[in-house]
Structure formats: C-alpha cells, structure tokens
Structure 1
C-alpha cells in the first residue's frame, strides 16, 4: 500500500509541476519578469521548501503505518498529497529557470539565516521546524496514540517553520506565481495548525508553543 501511495503522490506531483511550468511561462511572457538568479530568494525558497516539504511527506507516510486512527490518517494523507504536489511545482520552477536543485550556500541563506550550526542542525534539522533524525527514528518506533501525539507535535513545529519560510518568500520573492503559492502554503498550514492543536488537546496534550 505504501508503494502505491508513493507512486500516486509522485504522479500527482509530476502533473502539478507540468502545470506550474506552463503557468510560470505564461506569466513571464505576459509581464516580462526576469528569470531569477541561482542565489535569489525565489530559487532559495524553491530549493529549501522542496526539502522541507519532502520531510513532511515522509513523516505523514510513517504515521499512516503506525496508527489506525482515521482522523490522524486522514490528516496525514492530506498533508502528504498537498505538500508532494507543491514540491512538484517548486522543482518544476527550478527546471524552468534552469537552476540547480542543490546550492553550495547553506539552507536559508536567502532569508539571511544560513550557516546556523546548532545541535538540531547537526542531527538533520537544517531548516526551521524540521524534525531531527533522532525524532524521525522515534516516530518509526512508536505506534497508536504515542505515534499520533509525536506526529502532531512534530508536524505542528514543522508547519510553524514552513509558515515562517513561506512568509519570507511573500516578502522577498519576485515571481508572482511563486509568491501566490507561498501565500497559499501559509494560509493552508495555519488552518492545519488549528486542527492539530484541537487534536492534541483531545489526546490530553498541550500543543507546542
């Protein structure tokens, strides 16, 4: 089942990426917008958010296999599908702009936050809100209510970091279609934060501040 879900998600992401390219081309041809540079905020956001989204997809597939709770599984499915599709759009833009998907600059340099080397970064949390490798291992080990709670806690922090990044793109990016996608990301994740807060309280746990 997991393989089928991954294939379906990849196919959906490819379709959305194709749509993103078409839309971006039309917008650029209509407005004369210049192609972003390698180290621009547009490129940096696309690269970093693609990595950030990939971890959300990974965590969502993990919890789907660790609980039978329909509400949590439904949320995880929605997050995985939405963020896989958005990731396809971001990577599609990088292809359109003929820019590398990996940069020699540290993550978050486009927001003047690059180069932070704290303990969480050393454990794989390279951007705001990302789970560490240790936290991902623990999520894979838990099941039932414990897995649900940890997933909701990790995803809450993940969304908080993602919103911070999306709002940064709204302020700094120059491509209109990308700014609109970033705004949509922030609004959608704000809504999911409220839902996850309620779900944690239903399980007797206070949401992360």
Structure 2
C-alpha cells in the first residue's frame, strides 16, 4: 500500500524511460533555454534590471550558480543510472523527475554564467566560498577560514566508492542505495539554496533558489516514503 501511495504521489502510470517522453522533455528544455538566451541578448540580461551589469566573481549569485550546477550534475548522473537500471516503476519515475528538472536548472545557471562571462567552475577549485558570516560558520561550511576559504567537497555528494557500489547493484538493493544517496544529496544542497534565497541580489537567482527549496522539499518527502516502503533507512545526514 505504501508503494502504491508513493507511486501515485509522484505521478505517471507509464514507465518514464520511454524514448518519446525523454525526447519531448529534452526538446522543451532546449527551447526554453533558447528563449531565455535570446531575451538576454536583446538587452534583458536575464534578471539584471536597470543595466547594473554582471555580478562580481565572488558574489552569492555567481557562486551559487557555479556550485549548484556541480551539485546538480551529480544528482543527474545518479538519477539517470537509476532510471535506466531500476525495475521499480516508482523509483524510475522519481529518478526521471529529478533528472529532467535538474538538467533544466543546470541549463539556466550555466546560461547565466555565460552571459555574465564567468567560468562554470570556481577558479580556486574550492566550493561554497561565497557563503560567509555566522550562518555559514555555524554549519561548518562556506568561507569559515580566511586563510583557506571554502570546502573541497560539498555536502551530500557521493564518493567514488559509493558510486561504484551503486553501479554494481540490482533489484531492491539498487533501489534502496539510490534512494539513500539521493535523499542525502538533496539534504546536502539545502543550505546553499537557503543561503542564496536569502542573500542573492539577482532576482532570477533568488527565485530559482526558492523554487528549488520547494520542489526538493517535496521530493525529499517522496524519497523518504519510497525508502521506508522498501525496508531502507536514511544515511546519516551530510556533515
């Protein structure tokens, strides 16, 4: 019964890996991104009203777009694997939903970085340097050490050992491992979203961070429901 409720919550009676469905989503995502970029080229500069110019390299706006794109890409990789290899319809559906939504968000963020003439990755190789002040310090993340700000690995990211193990599994074991890793991954990105929603100066960036918080909050509940129904327990929260 729990499985049926979880499946109903996340939609679709059909397997999400159908080629036609995937192609429609990709075509729509590309079309939306093209419209946004054309609008920016026409002088809108994608949420920079008043001609203020691009945000600084060390701004919350740029840092969030860079780091969250990296964070999202790992989720997309996991979700794509589960979508293609799970035999559980509900698991495949949530994987498909995460993969398509986060690919679209990565496209938006990387589009902004291109318009701002900023690199897709932080130049220092460190993450979360744009998160400063008591809130970042209290959680042990961000620019907590002035001599060496930032972190090497963002919260919630899987290790190579975890990725290799996921790829070695099948059946119920694969489903449980995927749900555990994706749940932790969602939890790990929450602080960055909250910080950007509060401190970003670009309205587009702020709105996207707020939208992510809402959508991933709902997905987190679904992941928990599916995991419990399959006899799994959440991994320890990301540090």
TM-score band, normalised by shorter chain = 0.7 to 0.9
* Per-residue deviation, residues 89-123 of structure 1 (Å, max 9, x unmatched): 00000111111112222111111424435xxxxxx
Tell me the distance in 1 between the aligned counterparts of 2:33 and 2:90. Answer: 29
Contact 2:60–2:130 (CA under 8 A) maintained in structure 1: yes
* Per-residue deviation, residues 114-133 of structure 1 (Å, max 9, x unmatched): 4435xxxxxxxx21111111
Select which of 10, 15, 28 maps to 2:31. Answer: 15
Q: Which residues of structure 1 form unaligned runs of 5+?
A: 118-125
How far off is 1:14 after superposition? 3.4
Cross-structure match for 2:58? 39
RMSD: 2.4
Q: Which residues of structure 2 form unaligned runs of 5+?
A: 1-16, 133-141, 143-148
Contact 2:36–2:46 (CA under 8 A) maintained in structure 1: no
Tell me the distance in 1 between the aligned counterparts of 2:231 and 2:26. Answer: 36
Partner SS, residue 121 of structure 2: coil
Tell me the distance in 1 between the aligned counterparts of 2:119 and 2:23. Answer: 24
Structure 1 residues 26, 94: closer, same or farther in 2, change over 3 A? closer
Structure 1 residues 55, 10: closer, same or farther in 2, change over 3 A? farther
Tell me the distance in 2 between the aligned counterparts of 1:58 and 1:6. Answer: 15
Cross-structure match for 1:111? 131
Cross-structure match for 2:96? 77
Tell me the distance in 1 between the aligned counterparts of 2:94 and 2:78. Answer: 12
Cross-structure match for 1:60? 79
How far off is 1:2 after superposition? 9.9
State which drifts further: 52-61 or 95-104.
Answer: 95-104
Task: Give the number of aligned pairs.
Answer: 200
Structure number with bigger Rg: 2
In the superposition, the TM-score normalised over structure 1's length comes to: 0.85
In the superposition, the TM-score normalised over structure 2's length comes to: 0.75
Instruction: Indicate the structure with greater helix content.
Output: 1
Tell me the distance in 1 between the aligned counterparts of 2:96 and 2:177. Answer: 16
Structure 1 residues 8, 39: closer, same or farther in 2, change over 3 A? farther
Contact 2:180–2:233 (CA under 8 A) maintained in structure 1: no
Contact 1:63–1:139 (CA under 8 A) maintained in structure 2: no
